[in-house]
Amino acid sequence: MKKQSFPLAKAYTLLEPGPVTLITTSHNGRHNIMTQSWHTMMEFSPPLVGCLISGNNYSFEALLKHRECVINIPTAELARQVVGIGNCSGGKIDKFTEYGLTPLPASKLAPPLIAECYASLECTVKDSRFVNKYNFFVLEVVEAWADKSVKNPRTLHHCGNGKFMIAGEHIRLASRMK
Amino acid sequence: MKKQSFPLAKAYTLLEPGPVTLITTSHNGRHNIMTQSWHTMMEFSPPLVGCLISGNNYSFEALLKHRECVINIPTAELARQVVGIGNCSGGKIDKFTEYGLTPLPASKLAPPLIAECYASLECTVKDSRFVNKYNFFVLEVVEAWADKSVKNPRTLHHCGNGKFMIAGEHIRLASRMK
């Protein structure tokens, strides 16, 4: 995917529909990836994203320590990788190599963008006060990237236990909602 | 829609794909509805949902005071109502009457289920400590309802400014992810 810089104030349009994401972190000189679906927009501008990362994940320690990650949004052709990445731990393997994904340097952070994902959001941890009780990180999107040729991305939406909905048709309605 | 009781431990499967919701509250003997897309699952069991409700919404005061709401999940045939409800305030009109929706009594709360939605989650406010800073409510789902005849609901997913994605095809992949 050829990603271009994407306006921060529009970052919410990428995450609001609720896609499965692939979150990259870096720790001890190694990149890792986790599959993640529990996130919500919290503010338009600067864009804030609330994100659950369980302490069971190898990514948890990296995020807590280095306070940065990239939220990458895959489309349906990456379904096999999304499930595979969700079913193994970065403590044991290099998931980029294992799943044939390409790390690209981020502009502001150590964790990489995933080249094969149509959009990527570079994020820093803005607030970790809710991590102890809920594993809930408040992230700020500091740079956004998207392949603008992808108009209606066929994102994946997890319905539990390996069932995924693939984004279908798009409609437009007259609305004053942002 | 003929909704049946739905297992609480499976409630996450309804919200995890990221659908637009219609949230009902009750205040001063009146029911209200708001359109809402910024939510995330936070825990499987008991099911916790994090939910942004801006202080600009008429529903905010009702939720903060009475600490209960119903998250209703509409499908594509309700797209016109979803947008209309998102573009007006319950301070001025009765949205059930205005949009031809049918309130049904909830089992545990004052706010009603919306009959025309295929699923409804009765929720209480579990934690309001993040409301001041982020308008972020942590809700606990205390009762869930869904029309089990709806296997692959054509939920709506907001992409900003009146653009919606309608849930498309479903796929199953071998996965150990819950």
Q: Render A2-28 in DSSP notation, one character per residue.
A: --EE--GGGTHHHHTT---EEEEEEET
Domain membership flag for residue B68:
yes
DSSP 8-state assignment for residue B108: S
B:113-132 residues touching chain A, CB 8 A cutoff: 130
Q: Between A21 and A28, whose confidence is greater?
A: A21
Number of C-beta neighbours around residue A141 at 10 A: 25
Tokens of residue A20, six digits? 């499965």
Q: Does A27 touch chain B if contact means CB atoms closer than 8 Å?
A: no
**Of B98, B76, B77, nearest to B87 (Cα)?**
B98
Q: Does residue B2 sit within a domain?
A: no
- B177 within some domain: no
In this structure, what CATH number is given to the domain that contains residue A27? 2.30.110.10
Q: List, for residues A47-86, the tens digit of each pLDDT value.
A: 999 999 998 888 999 999 999 999 999 999 999 999 999 9
- Read off the pTM: 0.96
CB–CB contact A167 B170 (8 Å):
no
Is residue B77 in a domain?
yes
ipTM score above 0.90: yes
pLDDT reading at B175 higher than 90: no
Is A171 inside a domain boundary? no
Q: Is residue B41 part of a domain?
A: yes
Do the chains contact at B134 and A43, CB–CB below 8 Å? yes
Written as six digits, the tokens of A113 are 């963008």
Specify whether the backbone of A28 is left (phi greater than 0), alpha (psi in -120 to 50) or beta. left
C-alpha of A29 from chain center: 20
Q: Check B159 against A43: CB less than 8 A apart.
A: no
A10: chain B residues, CB-CB within 8 Å? 160
Give the span between the Cα atoms of A16 and A20, in whole angstroms. 11
pLDDT computed for residue A89 by the predictor: 83
Q: Which helix (H) or strand (E) holds A79?
A: helix A79-86
Domain assignment of residue A95, yes or no = yes
Asked if residue B41 lies in contact with residue B15, where contact means CB atoms within 8 angstroms, the answer is: yes
Per-residue pLDDT of B89-147, as tens digits, reads 877 789 999 999 999 999 999 999 999 999 999 999 999 999 999 999 999 999 999 99
Residues of B (70-99) whose Cβ lies below 8 Å from A: 76, 79-80, 83, 86-87
A6 domain-assigned: no
Domain count, chain B: 1
State the residue range of the domain holding A121.
Answer: 18-166
